[in-house]
């Protein structure tokens, strides 16, 4: 037996032992580095107490899948760009959406839509425009990436974007029927468990969780499945086309969303939208609350913004993934 195969079988043994738990992590296998295996399971998706598009609560069964423990970072995305010379959609367009913080005065009649600007030369290397850089943010989540930019990265690694069902199952971490990835305690009554918007001014929120915009991935505690920032920090692209009534018609087994031509956002019906999940540093208890595990948001797939990133999944069975390491 070659030493290489011995090493691989060693990895497989680690997998077999760890699989006794509901989720596992293979730290020593590059293909699955910083990924967690989630066993096939059935869960209650959605909420009857949230927004209308989160209802009805319904039972969904999922095959097992691997999911990234962290949001994809700038360092991760830089490796992809270096290997492929890929050009993102915002680089092609020459501009992208940036949230302009309103300063230190408390915000009255908070409406984030008032604060978004199309900024020249904002892209993944310059999340807020040319005055900004990722030079000291290599461990922050990549942002200013469109749906296609996210999909291209995952495809480069032979991975996929999660479905909405996979994302919500992962975000719940086994907490059936609960509101947040950490339980039912409202954000303002907990320690800083997630990078969100807290308070009524930029200065106030910085004092409370330490970050006005993105935080390095993994800065906050993981959920019960070992996933960091699965709520908060940045919104994350998922693979489903958005439909506000999808839960009334979705498959109960591995649902993947409606077809593109069926997608509709009632607020902007002319454009088919993808879904984003998990909320961002701009969400707070009384606005957006996208960090609720059942919260859904439509997003224009060609658009990018400085509050949206992603993570990948790998839709291969546990047995196949172990065998692939032995071949
Ligand atoms: Ca914050
Ligand atoms: Ca997130």
Confidence band, pLDDT 50/70/90 cuts, at residue 93:
very high
CB 323 within 8 A of CB 226: no
CB 326 within 8 A of CB 89: no
> Which of 182 and 285 is assigned the larger pLDDT?
182
Structure tokens at 300: 């224009």
pTM above 0.85, yes or no: yes
Q: How far is ligand 1, taken at its centre, from the CA of residue 204, in Å?
A: 9
Q: How far is ligand 1, taken at its centre, from the CA of residue 283, in Å?
A: 9
Give, for 42, the enclosing helix (H) or strand (E). Answer: strand 41-45
Q: How far is ligand 1, taken at its centre, from the CA of residue 228, in Å?
A: 15
Residues with CB under 5 A from ligand 2 (ion): 229, 233, 278
Q: How far is ligand 1, taken at its centre, from the CA of residue 288, in Å?
A: 14
* pLDDT at residue 276, rounded to an integer: 98
**Which-ligand-closest: CA of 202?**
1
- Which of 91, 161, 150, 144 lies closest to 303, judged by CA? 144
Q: How far is ligand 2, taken at its centre, from the CA of residue 130, in Å?
A: 24
Q: How far is ligand 2, taken at its centre, from the CA of residue 219, in Å?
A: 12
Structure tokens at 54: 């989160």
8 has a pLDDT exceeding 60: no
Q: How far is ligand 2, taken at its centre, from the CA of residue 230, in Å?
A: 5
Q: How far is ligand 2, taken at its centre, from the CA of residue 114, in Å?
A: 23
Determine the average pLDDT of the residues in 96-112. 73
* pLDDT at residue 192, rounded to an integer: 78
Determine the average pLDDT of the residues in 268-278. 97
Determine the average pLDDT of the residues in 161-171. 98
Q: How far is ligand 1, taken at its centre, from the CA of residue 190, in Å?
A: 14
Sign of CA dihedral 127, 77, 68, 215: negative
Q: How many CB atoms lie within 10 A of CB 97?
A: 18
Structure tokens at 296: 């859904």
* pLDDT at residue 13, rounded to an integer: 38
**Which-ligand-closest: CA of 218?**
2
CB 217 within 8 A of CB 229: yes
- Which of 275, 268, 272 lies closest to 296, judged by CA? 275
Q: How far is ligand 2, taken at its centre, from the CA of residue 237, in Å?
A: 9
Residue identified by tokens 């970072």 is: 73
Structural domains of the chain sorted by starting position, each given as residue range(s) with its CATH number in brackets: 34-317 (3.90.1580.10)
**What percent of the chain is modeled with pLDDT above 70?**
83
Q: What's the number of CA atoms in the CB half-sphere (13 Å) around residue 173?
A: 21
- Say how far apart CA 293 and CA 173 lie, in whole Å: 10
Structure tokens at 169: 């199952």
- Which of 312, 308, 313 lies closest to 124, judged by CA? 308
């Amino acid at each position: 037996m070659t030493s290489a195969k011995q090493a691989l079988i060693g990895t497989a043994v680690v997998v077999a032992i760890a699989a006794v738990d509901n989720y596992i992590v293979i730290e020593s296998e590059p293909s699955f580095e910083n990924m967690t295996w989630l066993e096939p399971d059935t869960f209650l998706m959605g909420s009857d107490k949230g927004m209308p598009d989160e209802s009805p609560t319904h039972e969904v069964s999922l095959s097992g899948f691997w999911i990234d423990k962290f949001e994809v970072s700038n360092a991760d995305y830089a490796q992809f760009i270096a290997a492929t010379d890929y050009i993102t959609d915002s680089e092609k367009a020459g501009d992208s959406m940036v949230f302009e913080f309103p300063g230190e005065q408390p915000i009255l009649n908070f409406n984030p839509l008032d604060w978004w600007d199309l900024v020249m030369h904002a892209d993944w290397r310059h999340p807020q425009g040319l005055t900004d850089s990722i030079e000291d943010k290599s461990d922050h989540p990549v942002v200013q990436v469109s749906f296609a930019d996210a999909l291209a990265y995952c495809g480069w690694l032979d991975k996929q974007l999660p479905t909405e069902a996979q994302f919500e199952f992962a975000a719940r971490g086994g907490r059936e029927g609960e509101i947040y990835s950490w339980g039912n305690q409202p954000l303002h009554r907990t320690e800083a468990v997630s990078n969100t918007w807290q308070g009524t001014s930029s200065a106030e929120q910085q004092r409370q969780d330490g970050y006005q915009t993105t935080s390095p991935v993994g800065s906050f505690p993981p959920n019960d499945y070992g996933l960091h920032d699965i709520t908060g920090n940045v919104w994350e692209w998922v693979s489903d086309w958005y439909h506000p009534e999808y839960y009334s018609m979705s498959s109960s087994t591995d649902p993947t969303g409606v077809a593109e031509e069926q997608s509709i956002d009632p607020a902007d019906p002319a454009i088919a939208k993808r879904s984003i999940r998990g909320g961002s540093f701009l969400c707070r208890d009384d606005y957006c609350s996208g960090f609720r595990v059942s919260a859904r948001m439509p997003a224009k797939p060609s658009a990018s913004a400085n509050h949206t990133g992603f993570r990948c999944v790998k839709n291969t069975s546990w047995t196949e993934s172990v065998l692939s390491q032995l071949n």
